[in-house]
Amino acid sequence: MFRYFENLVDPYGPYPQTDTPPRKLLPFLLTYAQPFRRVFWAAGLMSLVVAAVEVGLISYMGRIVDLLTEGDATQVWDSYGLEFILAALFILLIRPAIQMLDVLLLNNAILPNFGTLVRWRAHSQVMRQSVGWFENDFAGRIANRIMQTPMSAGEAIFQVFDAITFALAYLIGAAVLLWGADVRLVIPLLGWFMLYGLLVRWTMKRVGPASKAASDARSKVTGRVVDSYSNIHSVKLFAHHDSELDYAKEAIEEARTTFAAEMRLYTIMDVALVFLNGLLIVGVVGWAFVLWMNGSASVGIVAAATALTLRLNAMTGWIMWALSTFFRSLGVVAEGMETIAQPITLTDADDAKVLTVDAGEIRFDGVSHHYGRGAGGLDRVSLTVKPGEKIGLIGRSGAGKSTLVKLLLRFYDPENGKITIDGHDVTAVTQESLRTEIGMVQQDSSLLHRSIRENILYGRPDATEAQMIEAAQRAEADGFIGDLVDPDGRQGYDVHVGERGVKLSGGQRQRIALARVILKDAPILVLDEATSALDSEVEAAIQQTLYGMMEGKTVIAIAHRLSTIAQLDRILVLDDGRIVEDGTHAELLAAKGLYANFWDRQSGGFIGTEQAAE
């Protein structure tokens, strides 16, 4: 039974993806609610039925009181015994069945699946964003919103069916019941309801913005704390323990004050609610008592009115809290939308083709990209890398080397110009196929917090165990992998490397990254300081591996250590976003330009003018 309701909606089912999600709250939620339409209708109907049953029970309790005054016990039982038995059977059997169906729809069909669907689709949407989009935000804040938004969206839906729909139905049923007893009993109920509505309006108008401010503040705390944790080496190295605590405390204090402001609203609401409920009890029960004294109402009506108002008195706090939770949850969802609902700006063309590299020719035709700043990056760069040619890129920090590679990989689109591979514009092919054809080893080779085996197989998931081990051996990684053991007792290729590979040394991470690219065996190879984290002995061994990897491939290698690229076919010198020198090692030395200057100024094989990584 549970499994049936849990499988009414598949949260991972296919859906039309969009590059421009709704930016308004209601359309945003309705998009995610589409698969739940029938379940929502059923849950809403059951909420109405449950409320009707509850009001009916109170009404019937009043009838019982009246029946008990008609005669002695024997007469009452003889006249109404069968009715009492049927009522008892309804309460014992039918009412629980109705309630069970209601909670099965809510607790088992909606809650687990709705939050899962939102989280899955939100994660899928965010994963489609460009590298540049991620570079402009905190990973911790993005993750926090992906985690908070589904829970809050689920909570909002829960309150709609568990409290709001039920409460409206209950209130209407109460009015009908009192109207049937004596129309005058409805007057104090309506007066109370108007005052209650004003209180709700006052509270909700303020709770939404207050909850969003509190949610924003919590996200800021998460972002700052995660930033400190992920850079813990720098924190410890520069002895910034206290300053990091102060940095976090500033955000934590903002979270405290915004949350305190939100809680003030609830305190005012609670006090006002107690006063209003007093008016409700005195108004309805008092009037019913007056009617009874005048002979216009029976004892049963007084009893039913009393039970009804006491029930409403108990419910109002719950309803108000449910409404507050509802609007607070919507505030959190609205904050999450700032991340989730951002449009995808770097997309595949509608008719994008799958790229298959045959020769490996790369062309940059008048390419400019300044990250929207008008300066930095690349400026009108034209370059042809012939099939199988191996070129080196050097230049000062900020010269445009990394920008050139990012544009080739289509992490960004050029602001002007065009990049082609074998004549295919990189913006006209699918991003996935483009990056499948390019292997890259970066200077900062961060690894996934998974096993070494999974990290290497990331280059080619369908590779065999033997192929994976061969790649590790070629990268000079197999030796140290066999000696590794993690805190959970896993050994060798099963060892988990920690977040970004923090449990390994820089050289070990670099060798695993090399193994991953060796296994990928893409026709175009990009090396961004591929051996910078290695000691001289290991670098010398791997250098031969790299030259072996380059065979038959088109290669672009960025290097600060000029000795690693001196043997390549051509070397390009970038300066201020432009190619200012182009030639072989010997030709550039003879030209006595920037390259020759860099070569002369090298100490230990590095460009002396390099002060920071791009």
Q: What CA–CA distance (Å, rounded) separates 377 from 367?
A: 10
Based on the fold, state whether residues 409 and 335 are members of the same structural domain.
Answer: no
> Are the beta carbons of 339 and 386 closer than 8 angstroms?
no
**Beta-carbon count within 10 A of 315 CB:** 19
Q: Bigger pLDDT: 315 or 18?
A: 18
Instruction: With respect to residue 1, please indicate whether it lies within any of the assigned structural domains.
Output: no
Q: What CA–CA distance (Å, rounded) separates 533 from 476?
A: 14
Based on the fold, state whether residues 44 and 123 are members of the same structural domain.
Answer: yes
Structure tokens at 237: 């190295």
Instruction: Report the DSSP pairing between strands 378-385 and 362-369.
Output: antiparallel
**Beta-carbon count within 10 A of 138 CB:** 17
Q: What CA–CA distance (Å, rounded) separates 250 from 542?
A: 47
Structure tokens at 527: 């090396």
Structure tokens at 63: 């009838």
Q: pLDDT tens digits for 60-119?
A: 777 787 777 777 778 878 888 898 899 889 989 999 999 899 999 988 999 899 989 999
Q: How many domains are there within the chain?
A: 3
DSSP for 102-142 reads HHIIIIIIIHHHHHHHHHHHHHHHHHTS-HHHHHTS-HHHH
Query: Which range of residues forms the domain containing residue 223?
Result: 9-340
Instruction: List the helix and strand counts (H, then E) for the chain.
Output: 22, 10
Instruction: With respect to residue 545, please indicate whether it lies within any of the assigned structural domains.
Output: no
Q: Which of 308, 340, 372 is the last residue of a domain?
A: 340
Burial of residue 455 (CB within 10 Å: 0-12, 13-18, 19+) is buried
Instruction: With respect to residue 239, please indicate whether it lies within any of the assigned structural domains.
Output: yes
Based on the fold, state whether residues 111 and 143 are members of the same structural domain.
Answer: yes
560 pLDDT tier (thresholds 50, 70, 90): confident
CATH number at residue 611: 3.40.50.300
Based on the fold, state whether residues 491 and 532 are members of the same structural domain.
Answer: no
Q: Fill in the amino acid letter for 380.
A: R
CATH number at residue 54: 1.20.1560.10
Which pLDDT score, from 0 to 100, does residue 414 have? 92
> Position of tokens 């509190």?
214
Instruction: With respect to residue 257, please indicate whether it lies within any of the assigned structural domains.
Output: yes
Beta bridge partners of 441: 527
Based on the fold, state whether residues 53 and 90 are members of the same structural domain.
Answer: yes
Instruction: With respect to residue 318, please indicate whether it lies within any of the assigned structural domains.
Output: yes
Q: pLDDT tens digits for 577-596?
A: 999 999 999 999 999 889 88
The total number of residues shown for the chain amounts to 614
Beta bridge partners of 558: 393, 528
Q: What CA–CA distance (Å, rounded) separates 467 from 460?
A: 10
Based on the fold, state whether residues 235 and 159 are members of the same structural domain.
Answer: yes
Whether residue 183 has pLDDT greater than 80: no
Which pLDDT score, from 0 to 100, does residue 603 have? 47
List Cα–Cα distances, 348 to 129, 426, 431, in angstroms. 12, 10, 7
DSSP state of 364: E
> Position of tokens 């984290």?
533
Nearest to 220 by CA among 304, 140, 163, 313: 140
Whether residue 515 has pLDDT greater than 70: yes
pTM of structure = 0.74
**Beta-carbon count within 10 A of 467 CB:** 16
Based on the fold, state whether residues 494 and 609 are members of the same structural domain.
Answer: no
The number of angstroms, rounded, from the C-alpha of 354 to the middle of its chain's C-alpha atoms is 29
Q: What CA–CA distance (Å, rounded) separates 82 from 106?
A: 35
Q: Which of 340, 375, 392 is the last residue of a domain?
A: 340
